[in-house]
Amino acid sequence: MVARRQFLRYLGATALGVAATGCKLGSEYDVRSLAQPEVLATLGVAEVRNIGQRYRTLNPSEASVNAIREAILGSRPLAARLGLINPPVAALVRGDFEHGRTVALDGWILSVTEARQCALLASLTT
Amino acid sequence: MHTDARDLEPGSLIEGDLCIVGAGAAGISMALEWIGAGRRVLLLEGGGFDYDPHMQDLYRGDNIGLPYYPIQSARLHFFGGTTGHWAGFCSTMDPLDFAVRDWVPHSGWPIARTELDPYYKRALSVVQIGPDEWTAEAWQRRDPSLVPFPLDRNVAWTKMWQFSAPARFGVLYRKPIVDAPDVHLYTHANVVEIISNENASAVQELRVRTLEGKEHRVRAKRFVLACCTIQNARLLLASNGQASAGLGNANDLVGRYFMEHLEMPSGNLVTLGRTPPSVQMYDWGWGRTKARGEIALSQEVQRRRRILNATVSLSPAALSDPPQSTFQQINPQLIEMFHTGKLSDDVLKTPPPSAVPRTFQLMTRQEQAPNPASRVTLSTERDALGMPRTRLDWRLTELDRSSFAAFYEELGCEFGRAGVGRLQMRDWVMQPPNAGWPPSLSGGWHHMGTTRMSPDPKQGVVDVNCRVHGIANLYVAGAAVFPTAGCVNPTFSLVALTLRLSDYLKHSSA
């Protein structure tokens, strides 16, 4: 189990190395921010990490930090991918629920985007 | 008027116009309706005015099906009946509960919900709740702190409950009944047999016994069985002097379709956001809460997913709290309440939580699909009155189990969409089909369905007016006549249905 403070230190160091393309997208699309799904505040690092591990197991093509981040970016609406709009991650999550893009992981019913956020956290701490 | 049947001369003949068997929620509701009606009404109660373990033992029976409560604990055998431990939960059944649903075998009432609406209004005063407001919006107008979750009504909605004080009928209505000149209450008058004419087409008299061995006869123009779901079936089955399979049982239906509510912790909810949604609407405290909401799925979603009706309530709890079966894990204070109707002061004084909780256990209350194999029969053992004891074979179907998963999937998506929070299903909910029931299997202490209503004698025991098919002057009141269970506690609906039966009896000739 990773302590929250230790996790955040680790996360900061890792994010610097991998998130260069996130700058033009807004800071919440950098790896550091993406790896903090909204459920983290309530469920804690350990539970979110377990959820993320489960997602990674079920989706081996999204095994790396870059692959997960690209999957999140690639799932944005077309206008966002063309750079015309820049929706916050919370809007992507809500859109997932509205359009039935959900996944059940360890019983949790999550938006695909936030499941990937959990997987990102798990990847960064594994 | 009141007479203790133990004080009568042996072999006494008691006569009246209408005889009601059982002084619980149904029997007392009906008797109240007849005060001042100019008829001589007999109200027969097997017990006295207080709990008596010897009397309660008459309700003991075998359980040969799924795990269940000791059946003598789930109902009370004295004046006031099971309202003596009623928690006061009241809500109305939904229109879809009355419909034929092609995905629910044996579903469909012969009446629509609209037929019960005027009787629900009248039942409010009987169970001492009100006003006649059943929408979240109406209660929010009364108390702005009650804010329903912003759910899409096409998917899910907040179903309102009202809570009786609770109404202990034995305390509330003893004086009006005893003081009524035209209602004659007999206590310690246990009906042990219904004696019909030779071709079993009409009831002639009832055979009544006291625990001390005295026997009396009761004659009336019409008889109403209102002695609870299990006992009604037991009495009909044991009355086999003229009909070998029991009265009203020509089609082997008496005792079948026994139903419960599946009341089980089935998931968790964590609320999200810096300002999580208010949950006060969904909070409940014993003796404090006048009304609260539970979450239900829309009729459209139930149709699309082909599932049973259910609601969930929210209880603040840690996510790691394991679910426990109420069959095995009954709080000693609850046991005391179930016997005496009194809850300890410690529980009543428990203050509401000071901090707003963010994690909740989701407690499901789901209807059970009607199932002819789930049934009450007679045991070979006899009780102290010489009656065969009850044998309960409670059985569930795959639809009962699979409905949980679909319900929670839909609810989890809607909670996410509405920004309420995230839902977690319990492991057992996600098990594959035919995986069986978890150790946390629990029921709601609610018995329904053993003399179900249908216009077709081959599909039900009583007709649309609650008259036993083929028997001119015998009726059944109470949840025993429910063809389907709905997902709300049965008391409020059974009182409404009893008032409807009472009206019918008043307006039809004996």
> How many CB pairs below 8 Å do chains A and B form together?
58
pLDDT digits (tens, 9 = 90+) for B267-315: 999 999 878 889 999 998 877 889 999 999 999 999 999 999 999 999 9
The pLDDT of residue A2 is 46
pLDDT for residue B27 is more than 50 = yes
Give A-chain residues touching B316 at CB under 8 angstroms.
none
Distance CA A86, CA A122 (A): 26
Q: In the predicted model, what is the mean pLDDT of residues B68-89?
A: 92
Give A-chain residues touching B438 at CB under 8 angstroms.
none
pLDDT for residue A19 is more than 50 = no
Question: Using CB atoms, which residue from A38, A93, A109 is nearest to B413?
Answer: A109
pLDDT digits (tens, 9 = 90+) for A35-78: 999 999 889 999 999 999 999 999 999 989 999 999 999 999 99
First to last CA, chain B: 23
The pLDDT of residue B340 is 60
| Cβ–Cβ gap A102/B416 under 8 Å | yes
pLDDT digits (tens, 9 = 90+) for B316-331: 887 766 666 666 666 6
The pLDDT of residue B331 is 63
The pLDDT of residue B356 is 63
Query: Among B470, B467, B481, which residue's Cα sits nearest to residue B510?
Result: B467
Give how far A116 is from chain B: nearest CA, Å: 15
Q: Residue B314 forms beta bridges with which residues?
A: B362
Give how far A108 is from chain B: nearest CA, Å: 4
| Cβ–Cβ gap B273/A38 under 8 Å | yes
Distance CA B348, CA B335 (A): 15
Any idea what DSSP says for residue B119?
A: H
| Burial annotation B7-46 (CB, 10 A radius, 16+ → b, else e) | ebeeebebebbbbbbbbbbbbbbbbbbbeebebbbbbbbb
- Is the separation of the CB atoms in A114 and A42 below 8 Å? no
- Which is it for strands B388-393 and B61-63: parallel, antiparallel or unpaired? parallel
Q: In the predicted model, what is the mean pLDDT of residues B153-181?
A: 95
- Is the separation of the CB atoms in B261 and B368 below 8 Å? yes
The pLDDT of residue B164 is 92
Query: Among B14, B89, B10, which residue's Cα sits nearest to residue B44?
Result: B14
For residue B127, give the amino acid letter.
V
pLDDT for residue B234 is more than 90 = yes
Distance CA B461, CA B476 (A): 9
User: DSSP letter string over A81-123?
Assistant: HTTS----HHHHHHHHHHTT-EEEETTEEEEHHHHHHHHHHHH
Give B-chain residues touching A100 at CB under 8 angstroms.
413
Give how far A82 is from chain B: nearest CA, Å: 25
Residues 6+ apart with CB under 8 A from B361: B265, B267, B268, B314, B315, B316, B317, B321, B323
Q: Reduced to 3 states, what is the DSSP secondary structure of residue B13?
A: strand
Distance CA B116, CA B110 (A): 12
- Is the separation of the CB atoms in B471 and B203 below 8 Å? yes
Q: In the predicted model, what is the mean pLDDT of residues B363-391?
A: 98
ipTM confidence: 0.86
Give A-chain residues touching B358 at CB under 8 angstroms.
42
Give B-chain residues touching A43 at CB under 8 angstroms.
270, 319
Query: Comparing A55 with A15, which gets the higher pLDDT?
Result: A55
Give A-chain residues touching B426 at CB under 8 angstroms.
107
Q: In the predicted model, what is the mean pLDDT of residues B6-28?
A: 98
Q: In the predicted model, what is the mean pLDDT of residues A18-39?
A: 72
From A90, which residue of chain B is nearest by alpha-carbon distance? B419
Query: Which stretch of DSSP H or E encloses residue A45?
Result: helix A40-58
Give B-chain residues touching A102 at CB under 8 angstroms.
412-413, 416
Dig out the tokens for B131 from the structure: 């006003």
Interface test with B, best of A38, A42, A96, A102 (most B CBs within 10 A): A42
Residues 6+ apart with CB under 8 A from B6: B188, B210, B212, B214
From B267, which residue of chain A is nearest by alpha-carbon distance? A107
Give A-chain residues touching B408 at CB under 8 angstroms.
109
The average confidence (pLDDT) of chain B is: 93
pLDDT for residue B105 is more than 80 = yes
| Cβ–Cβ gap B427/A39 under 8 Å | no
How far is it between the farthest Cα atoms of chain B?
75
pLDDT digits (tens, 9 = 90+) for B242-266: 999 999 999 999 999 999 999 999 9
Dig out the tokens for B28 from the structure: 């007392």
pLDDT digits (tens, 9 = 90+) for B201-219: 999 999 999 999 999 999 9
Kindly report the pTM of this predicted structure.
Answer: 0.91
| Cβ–Cβ gap A109/B271 under 8 Å | no
Query: Which stretch of DSSP H or E encloses residue B170?
Result: helix B169-172
Give how far B412 is from chain A: nearest CA, Å: 6
From B408, which residue of chain A is nearest by alpha-carbon distance? A109
Distance CA A3, CA B254 (A): 62
pLDDT for residue B186 is more than 80 = yes
Question: Using CB atoms, which residue from A94, A100, A109 is nearest to B422?
Answer: A109
Q: How far is CA B337 from CA B25, B83, B86, B166, B324, in A?
A: 17, 11, 9, 12, 19
Residues 6+ apart with CB under 8 A from B89: B161, B163, B164, B488, B489, B491
| Cβ–Cβ gap A109/B416 under 8 Å | yes
